[in-house]
Structure 1
Amino acid sequence: MLRTLYRALWWLAAPAAVTRLLLRSRQERGYREHIAERFGCTAGRPLDDHAPLIWVHAVSVGETRAAQPLIEALLQARPDARVLLTHMTPGGRATGEQIFGERVLRSYLPYDVPHAVRRFLRAWRPTLGLVMETEVWPTLIEECQRRGVPLVLTNARMSARSFRRASRFGAATREVFGGFSRVLAQSPADAERLLALGARNVTVLGNLKFDMNTPAEQVAQGHAWRAAFGARPVWVAASTREGEEEQVLQAFAALNVARALLILVPRHPQRFAEVAALVARHRLRCERRSSWAVDGAVAGTAEKLDEDVQVWLGDSMGELGAYYAAADIAFIGGSLLPFGGQNLIEACAVGVPVLIGPHVFNFTQATADAVAAGAVLQVQDAAELARTLQTLFSDKPQRTAMGAAAAAFAARHRGATARTVEVLLTLLP
C-alpha cells in the first residue's frame, strides 16, 4: 500500500519538479541543463563496453568532495574499471567536473519512479552501486535488487531525528533498508540505528570525510589572501544558510575587536546576491571575492585588500579550504538554525579553531568527538558566538592550542577510505 502511494505521489510530483528546476535555474542556470537525465534519458555507455562500472551517487557538493578520496582509491585499485558519478544538484555536478574532469562518467540520478530508474540502469549497466551517507530511494533500491546490482550505503549516517521519522513507517522502512547489499556506517551509533531500521550486513568503518585533503594550492591561496588582508583579525562564517547570515552579522556588530574582517561564505551560490544585499543593508563595506584581483598561487602576490572592507563575500565554489586557511577562526554554518549543521572536518584539517552552533543533528558524533578533543567550541546563539570570538581573538595561546588540537583530531580519525575500498573490492568481479 505504501509503495503504491509513494509511486503515485512521484507521478503527481514530476511536473512540479520540472517547474521547480526551471524556477531555480533563474538563479543557477545549471538547473535547466540535462533535464532529460532526471527521467533516465541518457546515452549511457556503448553496448560493447564490458568494463566493470562502479556507480557512485553523491547528491551535492559536500558528498562529492567526501567521495573524492574513495573514487581516487577505487580507480587506483581497479584501473580496469570505469566510474560513473551521479548527482542531484548542478553544484555537485560542477564539483565532480572540477575534481575528476574526464576521468569519470557523469549523469544526474533520475527521479525515483520505476520507468526512469529502469532506463538509467539499462543505459549504464552498473556492476556495483554506491550511495553516499543518507541517500535512500525505495524504487532505486528495489530495481537494483531486481537487476542483481549490489547497492551499498557508503559512509552511512543516521541521526536520532531521522531515525525517529523513519521508524514511523515500520515494516516498509525495514524492507527498504534491508534492500542494501551492504551498509558501511560512520559510527557505532549510526550502525545501531540502521540495524534497527532493517539494514543488514552493517559494518562500522569510520567517516570518509576525515580522508579529504585540502589541496596544497588551496592552502597557499588562503595564505596569500591572509597576507593581502594585512595584520588584522580575520574570521570566516562558512556554509551559512538562509536566516543565519543575519545572526552572523549581528554577532559581528557585537564584536569589539578593532579592524576585524569577516569572510562570509553562503552555502548555496544562488544566494550570493541576496547575501551581498543583506550586508549592504547593515551598512557594512563589502568586497566580493569574484571582483577582487587576487593571485593566490604565491603568498604575497595578491592585491592588498582595502582596510575599510569589513566583510569579504566568498562568492565562489570549490575554495572552502582556502577560506579556512585565510582565517584565524572558523564558524561552521547550518548550525545556528535547525538545518543540522555542516561538515567541520575540513576546517579542523586546516588547523583552524572551530566554532559551531547548537543544531548539529547531521554531524552529532563528529561534533561531540571534536569538542571532546578541544578542537571545537559549541555556541548556542549569535550573542554567545560574539562573546566566544571576543575571547579567542584576545587569547592567542588558546587559539593556537585549539588549532593544533583540530589538526590532530582530523589526522587521528583518517583511514576510512582504505577500509571501505577493501570491502567494496570483494563485491566486484
Structure 2
Amino acid sequence: MQRIYNIFISLMIFGMKIGASFNYKLKRGLAGRRQSCDILKSVFSETDRVIWMHAASLGEYEQGLPVLESLKNKYPDYKILITFFSPSGYEVVAKKNTIATAVCYLPFDKPVWINEFISNFKPVIFFTVKYEYWYNLLQKLNRDQVKIYVISSLFYERQIFFKPYGKWFVRQLRKNVDWFFHQTNTSYALAKTIKLDQSSISGDTRYDRVRQIKERDPHVDFISEFKGKKPLLVFGSSWETEEEIAVIVSAKLPELKIIIAPHDLKRVEHLQHLFPNAVLYSETTFDQLDVQVMIIDSVGLLSKIYAYADLAFVGGGFHSAGLHNILEAATFGTPVLFGNRYQKNPEADDLIRNKGGASFIDENYAADFILKIMNDKQLLEEMGKNAGEFINAQPNSTELIMKKITSDLG
C-alpha cells in the first residue's frame, strides 16, 4: 500500500506541474517549495531544537497559533518552524512579523525530500492542524522519536479511514501519531471506532484565537467615521453569491452602511463594477466617507472590522470551497449569517443552535432575512448577545492541549 501511496504522490506532483501552466497559485507553490531547504539552512543548524507546526492553509494556521504561542512561552529556547501546503497561507504569514524562526512550504511527501528537509534541524515537537496527514513525513518523524500531535482534529464518516480500503492509512495514524486532540464528540467517537485510542476531546482552538483577537485593540482607520451612527453590515471573505446579496440589500436599505471584504483581492475590480460609487479602503480619505459601500482591498483587516459590525455575512457557504471563519465575527457579539454548505464546519451548526447565527439556501432568502432583522432591533440584539455568549462558553482548548503535551515531555 505504501508503494501505491508514493505513486499517488508522484501523480499529484505531476498534475500540479501541468496545472501550474494554467494556475498561478500552483505555480507559486511549486516555486516556493524549491526555496524551502535554503530558508532552513539560513536560520537553523542540524542540532537546533525546533517546535514545528504544519498548517494546510491560513485558516489552519490561525487555528494552531494559540497552541504554538503557548509552546513558545513554555519552551523559549526552542526555535519555531511553520510550514504550509497552500500559497494562501504561506504568502500571508511569511510577510508577517511572526513568532516563527522560519516560515516555508512543506516539501512534497516523498521520502528523499522529507529526509533532506528534516536534516537541517532537530524537531522535538511536531503538530499539524485538523486533518493534514502526510505519511512519509509522519513515519520519518516517528522514527526520529519526535512527539507528534494533531490538534483540533476533525474526523467525519466520508474520510478514507472509514472505507474498507482505508485500513493501511489507519494503521499509519495509529503507529505514528502520539495524540489526537478532537474538536467534537462526534470526531472523538469516530476515531474510537477505528481504534485510534490515543485521543481526547479538547474543543476547537479557534475559539481561543478569536477571544485573543477580541482582547486586542480592534481599531481600523476610517471605519468608525465611515459607519457614523448608521447600522453596518460587513460581508467578510465574500464570493459571488454574497456579493449578489449585497447588491439586493444596498438597493432596498439605502441607509445601511456596507463593507465588503472579498475572499480574493482579484474580486475588487468586479466589486467596483457592481458598486461604482463605492470607496476603496486603500484610497480612503475623510472626505470620501459619505458613500454607502466600502470595499476592503487590503489583507489582514477583516477580523478587526467585524468589531464595528451590527451584522455580518461570512462568505464561502454557497461555494464548494467551504465556509470561511464565522467565529471572528461572533466573538464581538455580532449576529452571523452564511450559506448552507458548511458540512465540515460543526461550529456553524452550534452557532445556529444557540441562535447566534443563521444559514440560507440562496441569495433571495438571505436578503429577505437581512431586510427583516435590520428592521427588528430586538432580534438583532438578541442574536448578537447569543453569538457572544456562545463564544465565551467554549472551553479553553489550548490549556487542555498544553497540559497533555507538557506532561508527555516531562
TM-score by length of 2: 0.88
Aligned to 1:153: 150
User: Aligned pair 1:347/2:339, yes or no?
Assistant: no
- Aligned in 2, Cα 1:309/1:64: closer, same or farther, shift over 3 Å? same
1:86 aligns with 2:102: no
Aligned-pair CA distance for 1:245: 4.3
What stretches of structure 2 of length at least 5 have no aligned partner? none
Contact 2:54 2:83 in 1 (8 A): yes
Q: What is the aligned counterpart of 2:371 among 387, 390, 414?
A: 390
- Between the aligned partners of 1:329 and 1:168, the Cα distance in structure 2 is 45
For 1:426, the equivalent position in structure 2 comes to 407
Q: Could you tell me how far apart the structure 2 residues matched to 1:402 and 1:413 are?
A: 17
> Matches of residues 98-113 of structure 1 in structure 2 within 5 Å?
100-101=97-98, 103-113=100-110
* Mapped partners of 2:386, 2:223: distance in 1: 24
CA distance in 1, matches of 2:219, 2:193: 46
Distance 1:399 1:428, change over 3 A: same
- 1:404 is aligned to 385
Structure 2 CA distance for aligned equivalents of residues 38 and 8 of structure 1: 23
Tell me the secondary structure at the aligned position of residue 427 of structure 1: helix
Indicate the SS of the match to 1:388.
Answer: helix
Structure-to-structure mapping, 1:267-282, within 5 angstroms: 267-268=263-264, 272-273=265-266, 275-282=267-274
The correspondence for 1:126, drawn from 102, 123, 126, is 123
Give the distance between the partners of 1:330 and 1:220, measured in 2 at CA. 17
Q: Decide whether the 8 Å contact of 1:354 with 1:375 is kept in 2.
A: yes
Secondary structure of 1:426 counterpart? helix
Mapped to 2, the partners of 1:361 and 1:140 lie a distance apart of: 28
1:376 aligns with 2:357: yes
Equivalents in 2 of 1:166, 1:286: separation in Å? 49
- Equivalent in the alignment of 2:3: 4
Shift of 1:79: 1.9
Give the 3 Å change call, closer, same or farther, for CA 246–319 of structure 1 in structure 2.
Answer: closer
SS in 2 for 1:403: helix
1:231 corresponds to which letter in structure 2?
K
Distance of aligned partners of 1:225 and 1:128 in 2 relative to their CA distance in 1, 3 Å threshold: same
Secondary structure in structure 1 of the residue aligned to 2:34: helix
Helix, strand or coil: the match of 1:129? strand
Q: 1:53 aligns with which of 47, 50, 57?
A: 50
1:269-308 superposed matches below 5 A: 272-273=265-266, 275-282=267-274, 284-293=276-285, 303-308=286-291
Secondary structure of 2:83's aligned partner: strand
Call closer, same or farther: CA 1:217–1:183 in 2, change over 3 Å.
closer
Give the one of 186, 191, 199 matched to 1:189. Answer: 186
2: CA distance between counterparts of 1:198 and 1:114? 27
The Cα shift of 1:146 comes to 2.6
From the superposition, tell whether residues 336 and 13 of structure 1 become closer, same or farther in structure 2 (CA, over 3 Å). Answer: closer
Q: CA deviation at 1:30?
A: 6.0
The CA RMSD over aligned residues, in Å, is 2.8
Q: Using CA pairs under 8 Å that are at least 6 residues apart, name the structure with larger relative contact order, 1 or 2.
A: 1
How much identity, in percent, do the aligned residues show? 19
Amino acid across the alignment from 1:177: L
Check conservation: 1:180, 1:199, Cα contact below 8 A: no
Q: How does 1:214-253 map to 2 (within 5 A)?
A: 214=213, 218-221=217-220, 224-241=222-239, 243-249=240-246, 251-252=248-249
Preserved CA contact (<8 Å) 2:51 2:125: yes
Structure 1 equivalent of residue 66 of structure 2: 69
Q: Kindly indicate whether the alpha-carbon contact (under 8 Å) linking 1:228 and 1:304 is maintained by their aligned counterparts in 2.
A: no
SS of 1:145's partner is helix
Matched, 1:202 2:193: no
Of the structure 1 ranges 83-92 and 212-221, higher mean CA displacement relative to structure 2 is found in 212-221
Distance in 2 of aligned mates of 1:265 and 1:276: 9
**After alignment, is 354-363 or 103-112 more displaced?**
103-112
CA shift in 2, pair 1:39/1:7, >3 Å: farther
Whether the 8 Å contact between 1:342 and 1:360 is mirrored in structure 2 is no
Worse-superposed segment, 317-326 or 93-102: 93-102
State the partner residue of 1:299: none
Given that 2:247 and 2:274 are in contact with CA atoms closer than 8 Å, whether structure 1 keeps it comes out as: no
8 A Cα contact 1:237 1:248, kept in partner: no
Name the residue aligned to 2:316. Answer: 334
Normalised to the residue count of structure 1, the TM-score between the two structures is 0.85
CA distance 1:252–1:177, shift in 2 (3 Å): farther
The offset of 1:229, in angstroms, is: 3.1
Task: Give, in angstroms, the shift of residue 126 of structure 1.
Answer: 0.6
2:33 alignment counterpart: 35
- Look up the equivalent residue of 2:231 and give its one-letter code: P
CA shift digits 1:339-379 (9 cap, x unpaired): 33222111111121111221111212x12221222211222
1:42 deviates by 4.1
Distance 1:198-1:104 versus aligned 2 partners, 3 A rule: farther
Aligned to 1:296: none
Q: Whole-Å Cα distance in 1 between the matches of residues 103 and 39 of structure 2?
A: 13
What is the deviation of 1:411?
1.1
